[in-house]
Amino acid sequence: MKTQIDSIIETDGALILGAGIAGLFTALKLAPLPCIVLAGTRPGLSGSSAWAQGGIAAAMGEGDSWQSHAQDTIAAGAGLCDPAVVELVAREAPDRIEDLVAYGAPFDRKSDGTLALGREAAHSLPRIVHVKGDGAGAAISATLAARAAETDCITLLEGFHAIELALENGRVTGIFARSGLGPDARLILFRARAVILATGGLGALYAVTTNPLESRGEGLGMAARAGALIADPEFVQFHPTAIAIGRDPAPLATEALRGEGAVLVDASGERFMTAIHKDAELAPRDVVARAIHRQIMSGKKVFLDCRDAIGAEFPHHFPTVYGACMSAGIDPVRDLIPVAPAAHYHMGGIASDVQGRSSLPGLWVVGECASTGLHGANRLASNSLLEGLIFGARTADDVRGQLIAGAMRGLPPAPQRFASPAPPHILREAMSRDVALERDAQGLRAALGVINRLETITNEPALLNMAAAAKLVTAGALARQESRGGHWRSDYPEAKAPAVRTFMTLADAEKIAANAESQPSRISK
Ligand SMILES: Cc1cc2nc3c(=O)[nH]c(=O)nc-3n(C[C@H](O)[C@H](O)[C@H](O)COP(=O)(O)OP(=O)(O)OC[C@H]3O[C@@H](n4cnc5c(N)ncnc54)[C@H](O)[C@@H]3O)c2cc1C
């Protein structure tokens, strides 16, 4: 059954889906080109961006260099970073921080007025700009939203749920979005001369995540269902230290705490990271996350001990984490913080080039929903907000030169519309059980079975977008028969040479899933 479009909203300029840091920064860089920014939630508070705690990496300190930032990024990426992309990001980073300063971002400064730089895991030097200790995401998001709201050519629209890309003659010309719920729901076609996805990550497809529940891979799913090429979908980063107090999503204990000297201990107060990696608690994220996961799987509890390293400074230096702990009755000045790994960041995404172009004509992608080749198999801490800024600016430059007049002619077929679904519990459980920190063929086949069954019982576009995103992650993980960075296969524990990135379409993932159904898999609960 096809449904009616209730209204059409058109712009002569660009349409951006997503009002996190990537979407807002791109909109500001596009000015004076007219631009509509469409989002589910309020710009300034929207997406993972507003929750970012650590800050943004840029080689701006004495003795630091873009080469050192690039080297650290490549080392974390476990052989899969694109060196040309890493170089341009590391080189352009200081300029993008200066842009944020010009927009009014209130970065912490030293007494001499220069930027205060923090250190995070796997960075060889302090190079993280931050705001009020752990409040970078909230402050930068609020600053960009305020600038966007006062910029005449930018129209900010919240409360819309995008469900499908509109294509005309093979070119992306718009987005179908729903406003309202139930019988009052309206289906609106937004059309523009350039369409930019800035829809963030997919952590909320997992039962245990640090991401807001709106980060459920819908932009990735929409693009994949329209035929876009997807890169490295299997690489999901798990943050080692989500605060384990049974909340969904789980609050985060920022990496900067370990940067300040906080240590990981078991219930008897013993450190275990020193025996696992030379950098101990500051080893790459996947190493720390898997070490904690194994402790927990062996029946032990894991805690972050901040008492000696941070102590009484905690409430002032890390107010967000302090608030989260205190709300659960844990005083980190005196108590150990219980921690566990949680789905945190998607290194994979919609394949894009250095101008933000996807493989679909008319569609650009920016921020966490894109895969530029920067992160490889494992993201270096505080490189993701940076990626949104770098490619936001580059996309804006490219879009200005690429606007095609008259691309919108006919009326693309409208999708079916239903109420906004949450990702089903069974999907989130399957992803957390079988597509998380330790994977094997049996578990991945079982997860594909769950996803396949889900697709057969729904025609709700939003749910199909989530299922497509989950299928790409799982099929990519099944196809990659090695362990590398964030992707660990217990049945293939070694890395294989040469290191190759994954590029696949949804049709490729469907084939892998169909084939997996004919193989033995664990009975899913
Ligand atoms: C707790 C936490 C801490 C972090 N700390 C850091 C850090 O210190 N440094 C760092 O570099 N990175 C950090 N990250 C990662 C970083 O925050 C994200 O990668 C980054 O914010 C992504 O920005 P984005 O603009 O691409 O997407 P987001 O900020 O997630 O924004 C996505 C936007 O898309 C909209 N959207 C999505 N789907 C739809 C739909 N179907 N319809 C309508 N709107 C839709 C959302 O409403 C939102 O506006 C952290 C992440 C988390 C969760």
Instruction: Indicate which atom in ligand 1 lies nearest the CA of residue 366.
Output: 26
CA atoms within 13 A on the CB side of 431: 31
pLDDT for the residue 85: 98
Question: With 90 as the cut, is the pLDDT of residue 185 above it?
Answer: no
Ligand 1 centre distance from Cα of residue 201 (Å): 6
Mean pLDDT of the chain: 93
At 517, phi and psi to the nearest 5? -65, -30
**Residue to mutate (ligand 1; options 143, 211, 384; most atoms within 8 A of CB):** 384
Specify the pLDDT at position 259: 86
For ligand 1, the distance from its centroid to the CA atom of residue 180, given in whole angstroms, is 23
Give the confidence band of 406 by pLDDT, cuts at 50, 70, 90. Answer: low
Cα 217 to middle of ligand 1, angstroms = 11
How far apart, in whole angstroms, are the C-alpha atoms of residue 81 and residue 294? Answer: 27
Given a cut of 90, whether residue 422 has pLDDT beyond it is no
- In this structure, the residues whose C-beta lies within 6 A of any atom of ligand 1 are 17-23, 39-41, 46-49, 51-56, 136-137, 160-162, 198-201, 210-211, 214-215, 218-219, 252, 345, 367-368, 382-385, 388
Which is nearest to 366 in space by CA: 146, 49, 12, 43? 49
- The CA 48 to ligand 1 mean position distance, Å, reads 3
Tens digits of residue pLDDT in 389-400: 999 999 999 999
Q: Which residues are part of the catalytic machinery?
A: 285
3-class SS of residue 519: coil
Beta bridge partners of 174: 166, 191
Over residues 310-336, the pLDDT tens digits come to 999 999 999 999 999 999 999 999 999
Report pLDDT for 413.
Answer: 78
**Does residue 1 surpass a pLDDT of 60?**
no
CA–CA distance, 394 with 318 (Å, rounded to integer): 33
- Ligand 1 atom with least separation from CA of 369: 26
Q: Which residue, judged by its Cα, is nearest atom 13 of ligand 1?
A: 52
- pLDDT on residue 524: 45
pLDDT in the model for residue 111: 96
Give which of 440, 498, 493, 504 is closest to 471, Cα–Cα: 504
Q: What is the pLDDT of residue 345?
A: 97
Residue identifier of the C-alpha nearest atom 38 of ligand 1: 199
Count H helices and E strands in the chain, helices first: 14, 20
Query: For the chain, what percent of residues have pLDDT higher than 70?
Result: 96
Residue 381 · residue 122 · CB < 8 Å: yes
The residue whose CB lies within 8 Å of the most ligand 1 atoms, and thus the one to mutate among 197, 208, 214, 248, is 214
Residue-wise pLDDT tens digits, 101-151: 999 999 999 999 999 999 887 899 999 999 998 899 999 999 999 999 999
Residues 6+ apart with CB under 8 A from 121: 255, 258, 259, 279, 281, 282, 283, 284, 285, 288, 381
For 171-210, letters b (16+ CB in 10 Å) and e give ebbbbbbbbeeeeebebbbbbbbbbbbbbbbbbbbbbbbb
pLDDT interval class at 408 (50, 70, 90) = low
Bridge partners of 176, per DSSP, are: 164, 189
* Segment 69-81 mean pLDDT: 96
Of 177-191, 264-278, 304-318, 397-411, the one with minimum mean pLDDT is 397-411
User: Using CA atoms, how far apart are residues 69 and 220, in angstroms rounded to an integer?
Assistant: 28
Distance 231 CA to ligand 1 centre (A): 19
CA 432-222-445 angle, 5° bins: 35
In this prediction, residue 255 carries a pLDDT of: 84
User: What's the gap between Cα 236 and its chain centre?
Assistant: 9
Q: Which atom of ligand 1 is nearest to the CA of 344?
A: 53
User: pTM, whole model, 2 decimals?
Assistant: 0.95
Which atom of ligand 1 lies nearest, measured to the CA of 136? Answer: 8
pLDDT for 183: 73
Dihedral sign computed on CA atoms, order 26, 139, 420, 371: positive
Question: What's the confidence (pLDDT) of residue 429?
Answer: 94
For residues 253 and 304, what is the distance between their CA atoms, to the nearest angstrom? 9
pLDDT for the residue numbered 458: 87
368 Cα to the center of ligand 1, angstroms? 7
Q: Tens digit of pLDDT for each residue in 261-293?
A: 999 999 999 999 999 999 999 888 888 999 999
Token pair recorded at residue 432: 């957390």
pLDDT reported for residue 121: 78
Residue 195 has pLDDT above 50, yes or no: yes
Instruction: Identify the pLDDT of residue 450.
Output: 96
- Torsion, Cα 516 518 522 525, to 10 degrees, reads 90
Confidence of residue 414 (pLDDT cuts 50, 70, 90): confident
CA distance 117 to 132: 12
**C-alpha–C-alpha distance, residues 225 and 4, integer Å:** 21
Spatial separation of the C-alpha atoms in residues 329 and 326, rounded to whole Å = 5
